[in-house]
Structure 1
Amino acid sequence: MSLLLKDKVYTVQSATSKRGVYPLHSYKLGLYRLPIKLEDSYEIDSIVSGFKKVFEMDKFADRVYATYRWTEENMPDPDERGYKSINLEVQVEIVTGEVVDMIYQIYPVEKYGDGLWVKDYRKKADTNAKMIIDTILRNSVLADKMIDHEVKTKQMSPEQALKELEEMTPLAQIVPNAKPKPKPASPPPGQQVAQEAEPVANEGAKPGPIDVDFKKKLKVVETFTAPSSHKIKVFGQRKGNEVLGIWGEFVSVDYDICVGDGACIDACPVKVYEWAEFKGHPASDKKPLMAREPDCIFCLSCENVCPVQAIKISKKG
C-alpha cells in the first residue's frame, strides 16, 4: 500500500480534510483510495477481529480504525539520569463502501506532552501508518479483492497480481488467519449445524537448542540487509513473521527458538546485536539482529547467556 497509487496520496497541512471526509484535526493526513468494494458486514467484521492481536481495532458505522502504539526513549537505561520516555500512536481509518479509502493522521508530537526531544517523530509515525495499511491490505479480504481487480482490469494472472500486491506493500507484517472464514450455510428449518472448533494458532517458541549442524542441512533462502548494510544470511524455511528460520552465518540465532529476552545484546562486548521487530512471531515480537556480525570476536558470551540455547557462534573457515 505504501507504494500504491502514489499519485493519489494527499497531504493536508490543516485541521480539516477535503473530499467530504470527516475532519480529523491532524497535523498530516495521507489518503489512499482503493478501487474495490467492501460493503459486506461479515467481511468488515473480519478485518476488526483478524488484526486484534497486532493493532488496537475499533469499528463505528461504516468505518474501521486500527491504532498502533509505540514507546520512544531518549536513552536505553531507565535508571540513567535524565531518562525520558513517551508513548506515541498513529491511527489508520478505513472507510468502507463502493470504494475503500484508507486514511491516516499524524498528530503534532506536542499532543503527547513533553516530547520535543523525540527524534524523527514524523518520519517514524508516517512509516508506522504505512505499515498498518500494508499489513491490513496484504493479509485481509482486501488482498483478494485487489487481486481480482488487477486480474480483471489488467488481464494479469492471479500469480502476477499477487506479486504486484506484494511489491506494493513492502512494509507488511504477516498476520496468520486474518481473512474471513467462509460463511456457514444456513441450516434447514429445525436443524442445527455443529460449530467447528477455531484453529489454534502456534504460540510460543519451539524448544532449543539450536541445531549446530544447520549449515549442512539447510539452504540460504534469502539475505536481509541490516541498517549497518551488512547482508545477513537466512537459513531454512521462512514463512513471513510466523516462521523465521536461522539468521546469521557465523553469529547464528534460531529465531523460532529465541524468546527475545535481550541477554545476548547486554552480554556482547562489541555490540554485534541490535533489536529488530518481527510482529506476530509466536515466540517474541523482537529479536536480536546480528547487524554487525563481522565485528564478532568469538568470545561466546552471547551463546553462554542465552536461556533457551538459540545461539551458535562459529568462526569463519
Structure 2
Amino acid sequence: MSLLLKDKVYTVQSTTAKRGIYPLHSYKLGLYRLPIKLEDQYEINSIVNGLKKTFVMDAFADRIYATYYWKEENMPDPDASGYKQVELQVQVEVVTGEVVDMIYQIYPVEKYGDTLWVKDYRKKADANAKMIIDTILRNTVLADRMVEHLVKTKKVSQEEALKELEEMTPLAQIVPNAKPKPASPPPGQQAAQVEAEVETRSGAKPGPIDVDFKTKLKVSETFTATSSGNKIKIFGPRKGNEVLGIWGEVVSVDFDICIGDGACIDACPVKVYEWAEFPGNPSSEKKPLMARESDCIFCLACENVCPVQAIKIFKKG
C-alpha cells in the first residue's frame, strides 16, 4: 500500500475527511480507501489481537488504531554532554465498514517538546505510517480480502493476486500467526457471515455492466437531476421504468442490473449519488442517481463495492 499511498498524501486543509469527521490537528494526513468490506466484529478483533506484539493496538466502535513508537537521539553516546533522546510516534486509524479507510496523521515535531534537532522527522513518520499500513494489509484478514478483490476485478489467479499484494506492500513486516481464528460467538448467536450472498431480484438483468456500451448504444435521452440541475445521459432504449438502460457518461450505472442495495451511495466519498424512485422496475424501485457526476474523483470505491457489478467509472477526457 505504500506504493499506492505515494499519491494519496496531502496537506490538511479542512477539519473533515472523506468519511465522517476526524480531528485533524496535525501537519499532514494520509488517506487511502480499500474497496473491500470489513464489518464482522470477530474479524476486527482478530486484527487487533494479531498485531498486539508489533504495534500498540486499540479499537473503539468501528475503528482500529495501530500506533508505532520509535526513538531519536542527537548523538550516539548517551553519556556525552548535550545528549538528547525523544520518543516519537505515528498512528494509523482503520475505519471499517462497506469499504475500509486507512488514515494517518503526522503531527508537528514541536508536539514532542524541544525536538527541532530531530532530522528528517516528517519523512520518517511518513515511512513508519506506511509501514504500519503495509503490515496490516499483508498479515491480517485484509490480505485475504484484497486477494479476493484482485482475483475478482482483475481476473487473475490467486497466486498472481498474492504477488501483486506483496508488490503493493514493500514496507510490510512479517508477523507470524497474525490471523488468529475469531472467537466463537456467544451460545445461541450465529456469527456474521464473512461475505453476504448477493440476492438478485426476480427480473433483474445479470451483471456485469458491458464496459463497451458507449460503442454499442446510442444516447436515447437525457435526464435532469432536480437537486443539481445536471443533465445525465441515458444510453440504450428506455421503456418507462420497466427497462431503464445505462445512465451516466462518466459515472455509469446499468439500472437494469442495479438492485438498489445502496452500497455505492455509502462508499462514495464526495456524494455523487442520491436516491431516485423508479416504481415498477423489476430489479429495484429505487436507484442511485449520479446527480453530481462531475464531482467524481475516480476513486472507484462505488465500482468495487457494487455486488452485481452494475457500475463502470470512466475518466474524463
Partner of residue 177, structure 2: 177
Give the conservation status (yes or no) of the 8 Å contact 1:135–1:172: yes
Q: Distance in 2 between matches of 1:17 and 1:186?
A: 37
Letter of the 1:95 partner, please give it: V
Please give the secondary structure, in 2, of the residue aligned with 1:92: strand
Letter of the 2:10 partner, please give it: T
Give the conservation status (yes or no) of the 8 Å contact 1:14–1:27: no
Identify if the C-alpha distance between structure 1 residues 76 and 42 changes in structure 2 by more than 3 Å, giving closer, same or farther.
Answer: same
Letter of the 2:169 partner, please give it: T
Please give the secondary structure, in 2, of the residue aligned with 1:57: strand
Query: Between Structure 1 and Structure 2, how many residues are aligned?
Result: 188
Please give the secondary structure, in 1, of the residue aligned with 2:3: coil
Instruction: Give how far 1:181 is off.
Output: 1.3
Partner of residue 26, structure 2: 26
Identify if the C-alpha distance between structure 1 residues 87 and 142 changes in structure 2 by more than 3 Å, giving closer, same or farther.
Answer: same
Instruction: Give how far 1:133 is off.
Output: 0.4
Give the conservation status (yes or no) of the 8 Å contact 2:26–2:108: yes
Instruction: Give how far 1:18 is off.
Output: 2.9
- RMSD of aligned C-alpha atoms? 2.0
Partner of residue 46, structure 1: 46
Runs of 4+ in structure 1 over 6 Å off: 185-188
Partner of residue 59, structure 2: 59
Letter of the 1:88 partner, please give it: L
Partner of residue 141, structure 1: 141
How does 1:1-317 map onto structure 2 within 5 Å? 1-4=1-4, 7=7, 9-14=8-13, 16-19=15-18, 20-181=20-181, 184=184
Gaps of 5+ in 1: 189-317
Q: Distance in 1 between matches of 2:13 and 2:26?
A: 7
Q: Deviations over 1:120-158 (max 9, x none)?
A: 000000000000000010000000000000001110100
Identify if the C-alpha distance between structure 1 residues 138 and 114 changes in structure 2 by more than 3 Å, giving closer, same or farther.
Answer: same
Identity %: 76
Gaps of 5+ in 2: 189-317
Please give the secondary structure, in 2, of the residue aligned with 1:42: helix
Identify if the C-alpha distance between structure 1 residues 6 and 126 changes in structure 2 by more than 3 Å, giving closer, same or farther.
Answer: closer
Identify if the C-alpha distance between structure 1 residues 180 and 21 changes in structure 2 by more than 3 Å, giving closer, same or farther.
Answer: farther
Letter of the 1:48 partner, please give it: V
Q: Deviations over 1:264-313 (max 9, x none)?
A: xxxxxxxxxxxxxxxxxxxxxxxxxxxxxxxxxxxxxxxxxxxxxxxxxx
Give the conservation status (yes or no) of the 8 Å contact 2:46–2:182: no
Instruction: Give how far 1:21 is off.
Output: 3.6
Q: Distance in 2 between matches of 1:71 and 1:182?
A: 34
Instruction: Give how far 1:33 is off.
Output: 0.2
Please give the secondary structure, in 2, of the residue aligned with 1:93: strand
TM-score between both structures, scaled by the size of structure 1: 0.56
TM-score between both structures, scaled by the size of structure 2: 0.56
